[in-house]
Structures are given as structure tokens and as C-alpha cells.
Structure 1
Amino acid sequence: MTHPAAATQGTDPAMPRVGILIGSLEAGGAQRVALALAHDLLFDGWEVRLLLLNPEREMALPGSSEAQQALEARLTVLGGSSVRAGTLSKSLRFPRLHRRLAAAVAAHRLDVVVSFMERANLLNLLGNRAVPRIVSVRKQISVALADKSAFKRTLVVRAYPLLLRRAAAIVLNAHGSATEFARRFGLPADRLSVIPNPVAPDVATRARETPDGPGDDMLGPETIVAVGRLVAAKGQVPLLRAFAAVRAACPDARLVIVGDGPLRDRLSNLADELGVAPAVRLAGFQANPYPWIAGAGVVALPSRAEGFPNALLEAMYLGRACVAADCPSGPRELLAPDTSVDRVAAGLEMTDAGILVPPMPPADLDAAAPLTSAEQALSEALTRLLRDTALRQRLERGASARATAFTPERATAAWQAVIAESLSARGPTR
């Protein structure tokens, strides 16, 4: 990959000119991947334009100061409304955004436009087909639709089948998501490409920083760490219930949950009701969660659904022993890549890189309810890793080895291949 100093040297005019379209730069996995792609393409000599539908910007541009300046100079906000506006309001703004996107594509002489997430994807697919349109779906479609309002869900379900035929390529980040997407919309498998998210190159460096926040004094071999927004989909309630059983078997066990969200008070109260509050810390949002991950004895991912579990991959990259619920989609692909994506763990499933347990119960239960079989399996897996040092160390080595497959260079090369293929199908442009 070209050194960031190339930012001051300009891009190669013979290389493709790529537009990257996304709703906003609010914090999120899709935004991180879009920014990483823009950064890596630019410094491989490609001309890149970042196109935002809304002005919100929580995420810093990646790379060195020169890289950030180069990307800032190539960033355009197409709309002025908030990403939090209602679905109807956003729909009414579609014609204006469509015109502004068309103008940006023409002004920057873009050869291809790559979009991320449903609203940007729909807008992209409505564009002039003389410019290839590549759409990237970041969640399993059933999970993505479940999170939307009825109006938005209807809009996506009706529009996608009509517009997907216009896509030069459809990219997903997990094979399980691709399989479901193809079934849902009746697409042949060869219409889809899977490009897993890479591990950010600075994770190891940032992990060496000293943690500074709630729970930093509880890290160590006896500590379970979970990272994720405090929402039902991330499964922290089942984790807390399982942790109460872990404490009965391992009195020194501790639990640190990194993240914030609407379930914070519920989790705090549940820890009290379960009698484990002294051994639990809700660390809140941490801009750099990696020291907490690196300081864990075991990392847990109890999610009910994932688009692609970046937190799990990052924990593996940092050499942590991991226990993950076998939810759609991604944990199985990371921990048991040689198994079918349609397989679901029925109990503890040992792999070379971690332990899979059955999906967590669909609804959160209170402190008095007996553990479900899935919660019991989660408790048993965590207990086993805390007690068995040799097993934990073996899984740490396996996790680290498995994570080496998810490099930024490999992801960028895969994106470049998809883009090049879409341009080749169109023929020469300059």
C-alpha cells in the first residue's frame, strides 16, 4: 500500500475515480469500513470522493494528518438535513439528493459509485447506469429490516427487488448474510461478493495504551470482558444472568461491559438483583476499547444478531480466548470457518479459535427466571475457560492465527477486484 505521503503527490490519472456514498459519519461499523476503503484506495493511487447524505460527523477521518487532509478535501455533503429525520422526511428529500448525487458524479467524473447501507444503496441504484453502481449490505437483511419502521421496511422490501438488477455488484461482509440475501430476493449466488471487514491496522498499538475508566482496576485473567452498545440485540442481559452462575463456580470471576446505551439502568439493576454487582462494572462508552479487550481473561460476545462482529474479530486479533453466541451472522464464520453457515450450535461447540454456544433467548428474562439452555451453555463455556488455563492459552493462539486472514490489504485487494470487474464489464471510459 502506498505510503500516506502520497497524499501530497496527487493520484494516478490512469486509475479509477471512485465515489463512496454513505448516509453520514456517525459512529458505526459501516462508516468505519467506508472510511478505511476511501483511505486505502486513495493511497494506492486511486482518486476517491466521499459523498455524505447527511452532515453528521462523529468519526475522525483515518490515517495521518496528511491522509486526513486529503480525504477532507475530497468530502462532499449532499444534503443538509439530519440523519435522525423521519423516514417520510428522508423520502421526500430523495429527488433533491438524487440530483445532487448526479451532479457530483458528473463534476468529479466518477467511474463507479460504491454505497453503504440501505438508504445510500437505494439512491445509488437510482443513478445513471452509465456509471457502474456497487452496493454494500452491512447486516443480515432480516435483522436490518426488523430494526426499521414499518414504512421503511416496506420501502426497502418493495424497492430492492426492482433496483438490484441495476447493480454492477452486490457486496456483503459475511457469507451467512449473503446466503439469506440471495434467498430473500431470488438472486443467483454469483451476483454476490463477500468481503469480510478487516482488522484496523492500529488496533494492536491502541491496545497497549493504559485503560482509564470504570473497571480498569478489575482487568486480569479472571475477568470476562464484553464490548457493545447496551441494547437488547447485544445480549448483555443473558450474559449477566449467565455470569451469576459463573460466579457460583468461580468466586473470583469479574465482568466488565464496555459500551453505553438505553439498557444501562436495566443492567445495573439486574446485577444488584442477581447479587453480582460488586463483581460487575459497566465501563460506559470508551473511544479506545482495546486496552479493556487486551486486559481480559476471556472475551464474550452474547449477541442475538450481528452484521459482522468486529468486536469478536478484534478480540481474536489481540489473542484473547473468546466465547460467542452462534447468532446470525459472522461468529461461526470467524470461529468455525470450515463449517456450514446454516449450522447452529446446539451446545458448547469447541473450535480451534474459540467456543460457540447456542443463540441467546429471543427475549430478556428477569433475575428470578431459571437459566435457559443457551444461557447455561454460555455460563459453562465461560467457566471452563476461566478454570482451564491450558485450554484458554490454546484458544488464544488459535484466535490470533485465525485473525491474520482479515488484513486491510486483503480487504482492499478484494474491493479493488470487484470495482475493476464492474468497470471491465462496462468497457473503457477514458
Structure 2
Amino acid sequence: MFVINSLAGGGAERVFTTLVRELNGADRGFAITVALLDEEAEEAYHLPPGIPVERLDTRGGLLRSVTQLRRLVWRLRPDVTVSFLSRANVAAVVAMRRTGGPAVISERVNTTAHLKSGRFGFLSRLLIRRTYPSARKIIAVSEGVAQTLEADFSVERERICVIYNPVDLERIRAMAAKPPEIEVFADDFVTVGRLVANKNTAMAIRALAASQSQGRLIVLGEGPLRDDLAALAAALGVADRVLLAGFVANPYAVLARAGCYLLTSNAEGFPNAMLEAMASGLPVVAADCPSGPAEILQVSLDGENPAFGTGGALVAMNDHVAMARCMDRLVEPIVRDVCVQQGQARVDAFSVTRAVEAFRDTILSATAGNGVLPG
């Protein structure tokens, strides 16, 4: 049973859907049922026909998630659960205790950074400490996430394996060839993500205002900070150069025609959109947040100075001035071409085939000894 909060737009949901599609079937050794904790009016990603889907109605509540998933697990008796995202992970570990079956959880964020503050952050960290260590296997999306789970949440390193997110190059390139939904120019900068505090889209707007470029900033994503970001762009005098485009069904067509990708997050587990931008032929300027960007670019900062790596530049978190300097550098054709070539070569290490086989091996390893026959 694969478990996730919902199939609303997001990187975790996209990876989840890809893995379900690729792992389901007799040739892979799995018959998959999907459990969605929350009912969504619209789903951004769609599962292949024929896969049973159990839609629960937890309304985002952890206690309801645990209670309803426990009932579902007891009724269906899955051999193993594979869950994505913290709430689904906690619920799956607790639910599987009732049957004694193994739970495999996939941690998609840098847990410490993601839950670093607030009353609910403290409660969430406590719940994770009480549940994650008893999962049979924990799949971390980066080495940084793995180190955090071990150091801050008492998870044994032997239970953790690192599997990078898959990049479906064939699909990305096919979609990139289609006409974009919005007008895009070669000197435009693009950033992708929900308009929430953690994505720090304000840094991208400030960097645009500080750069020498005359290009625009295209923001793909929706969220509660839309009005605040629009007000910031107006205050900095770049309102006419910031396009808050909302959710775009085919972001790859936009990425493929732009000039540079910006990642400004305060924390990431593993930045899918950054890799997909590189696969689409964009150089990247990324904030050195925990965790993922430095691993992808294969570079580390020398103090506060920006560093150019495999496919783009890394800058200190919240340093919009350094980001602006790198943006100006990457519009230079020679520098841009080198970064694009390096970036597209780098994404080959994150193929769907590698990720699917690694997930399959991990699931079968988790079920060994539980009477589950490998496929």
C-alpha cells in the first residue's frame, strides 16, 4: 500500500505517481493499492487505470489520519506500506503496528530545518522521534536528509538508505517541446514552488531588483503569500517585471524557453524542480539551503562567496545580492552554455530506472522475513 496525503501539485506527489506507475504489476512483483489521506477537489497527478485507490477524509488532521489509516490497514492487511511526507509517514508507522507488518517511509524534506520552530514544530519533531526509528526502512532523498534523521531523530543509520528523486528525462523533453501556456523570453528568470514562507520567493524578487538584467522573473506556483509578493515587487519597482503565473500544467515548456532558474528555499529535502530545470536546459542559481542544492551542483561555498559548480552557482541563503551577481554572470553566453552542458550531463545520474530499482530493492529488503515472496 502506497500512502500519501493527496495528489495535489508538488514534487513528492509527482515522484509518488511515477513510482506507483513503474512498480505496479506482475513483472515488478507488486500489486499496489494507493491510500490518499485527504480528499482533494482537483488532483494535479493521475494514477494509471486499474490501480485501486482508497480515498480517506482526514481533512489534514494527524489524529484522523492515524485512526482512518489504521482501520484501512486492518481491513486490507497490506504486506508493506510505503509512505511519503511526514504526516503520512507517522500515520503509516502507527497503523502497521496493529498488524505487525513493515512500514517503509520516504522522508522528502530536511526534517530539522522544516520543523525548526513553533509549538506545532515541537510536537511534530516529538512525534517523528517516537515513530520514525521503528520504521523498517527509511528512504531519504539526499545525504543531508539522512544525516539529519540520524543526528536529530535517533534513527539508526542501518535503517536509512538514500535514493535520489527520479527525473523522467523523456517526459520532460517531450513536454518541453509543446507550446507554453504563457509568453516566455530567453532572458527571463524562473522559479517554481508554492508561495509560502519556506520557499522564500521574496529573495528571488529582491535579486531581480538588484541585478543588471532587464529580464523578468516568472514565478510558477500558487499560495497564501501571493499578495505579499506582489506588494514587495511594487515596493522594489519591479512589479512590471514579476509575473506571478500561478499553477501551470506544463512548467517544462516555460523552463525550456527561459534563461535561468532560481532556487531560493530556506529548506529542501531534494529540489525536484531544480533538477527538472537543469534537464530542460537551464543554468541554476541556488541558495545553499539544507539540503540538496549543494549535492546536485557538487560544490560547497567558500565562506560567503558564491561558488560555481556542475550546472550553476551556489550562494548563501538569503544573500540576494550574491544571487543577483550570479544571475548577471549566467546571462553571458559562454558561461551559460558551459553550465547548461554540465547540468544536462549531471541529471543523467537521477534516472527513473535507477530510482525505481532502488525503491524495489528497498521494499523487498524490508519485507524479508515477513512471509512476502520477492517478485
TM-score where L is the length of structure 2 = 0.90
Of residues 36, 39, 42, the one that matches 1:55 is 39
Residues 259 and 425 of structure 1, relative CA distance in 2, 3 Å threshold: same
Task: Give, in angstroms, the shift of residue 258 of structure 1.
Answer: 1.9
Root mean square deviation of aligned Cα: 2.3
Change (3 A) 1:293 1:324: same
Q: Gaps (5+ residues) in structure 1?
A: 1-18, 63-67, 361-373
Residue 310 of structure 1 pairs with residue 295 of structure 2: no
Tell me the amino acid that sits aligned with residue 44 of structure 2.
M
Pick from 146, 165, 169: which aligns with 2:137?
169
What does residue 384 of structure 1 align with? Answer: 329
> Secondary structure of 1:402's match?
helix
Structure number with larger C-alpha Rg: 1
Change (3 A) 1:20 1:96: closer
Query: How far apart are residue 345 of structure 1 and its match?
Result: 5.9
Identity among equivalent pairs (%) = 34
- Which of 77, 99, 103 matches 2:71? 99
**Residues 362-382 of structure 1 deviation map (CA, whole Å, 9 limit, x = unaligned):** xxxxxxxxxxxx111101100
1:80 partnered with 2:57 = yes
Compute the displacement of 1:130 (Å). Answer: 3.7
**Length, aligned pairs only:** 368
Query: Would the aligned equivalents of 2:58 and 2:64 in 1 still touch at CA under 8 Å?
Result: no
**Alignment-mate amino acid for residue 126 of structure 2:** R
Q: In the alignment, which residue of structure 2 is the partner of 1:356?
A: 314
Report the Cα offset of residue 344 of structure 1.
Answer: 7.5
Runs of 4+ in 1 over 6 A off after TM superposition: none
Aligned mate of 2:230, from 254, 261, 268 = 268
Asked if structure 2 preserves the Cα contact closer than 8 Å seen for 1:348 and 1:357, the reply is: yes
CA contact (8 A) 1:268 1:277 kept: yes
Change (3 A) 1:25 1:188: same
Q: Is the 8 A contact 2:133 2:155 kept in 1?
A: no
| 2:368 aligned counterpart, secondary structure | helix
Q: Is the 8 A contact 1:168 1:422 kept in 2?
A: yes
- Deviation, 1:154, is 4.4
Matched, 1:219 2:185: yes
Q: Which runs of 5+ in 2 are unaligned?
A: none
Aligned partner of 1:98: which letter? R
How much does 1:277 deviate?
A: 2.7
Measure, in 2, the Cα distance between the counterparts of 1:344 and 1:48.
47
Q: CA deviation at 1:223?
A: 1.7
Change in Cα spacing, 1:305 to 1:160, as seen in structure 2 (3 Å) is closer
Q: In structure 1, how many angstroms separate the alpha carbons of the residues matched to 2:65 and 2:90?
A: 13
Judging changes above 3 Å, is the alpha-carbon distance between structure 1 residues 244 and 178 closer, same or farther for their aligned structure 2 residues? same
Any idea what SS the aligned residue of 1:303 has? coil
Contact 1:326 1:345 in 2 (8 A): no
Q: Do the aligned partners of 1:344 and 1:358 also contact (CA within 8 Å) in 2?
A: no
Post-superposition Cα deviations, 1:53-84, rounded to whole Å, max 9, x if no partner, equal 2332513324xxxxx2122xx2122x33423x
Quote the residue 2:361 is aligned against.
417
Does the CA-based 8 Å contact 1:228-1:259 persist in structure 2? yes
Within 5 Å, give how 1:235-274 maps onto structure 2: 235-246=200-211, 249-250=212-213, 252-274=214-236
- How far is the alpha carbon of 1:326 from its aligned partner? 0.7
Match of 1:121 among 89, 105, 120: 89
Structure 1 residue 196 displacement after superposition: 1.2
Q: What is the CA deviation profile of residues 162-205 of structure 1, one whole-angstrom value per residue up to 9, with x for unaligned ones?
A: 33343210111111111111101223322211111111341111
State the SS of the aligned residue for 2:259.
strand
Q: Report the equivalent of 1:26.
A: 8
Q: Which residue of 2 aligns with 1:70?
A: 50
Contact 1:111 1:429 in 2 (8 A): no
What is the distance in 2 between the residues matched to 1:38 and 1:194? 19
User: 1:406 and 1:241 mapped to 2: Cα distance?
Assistant: 31
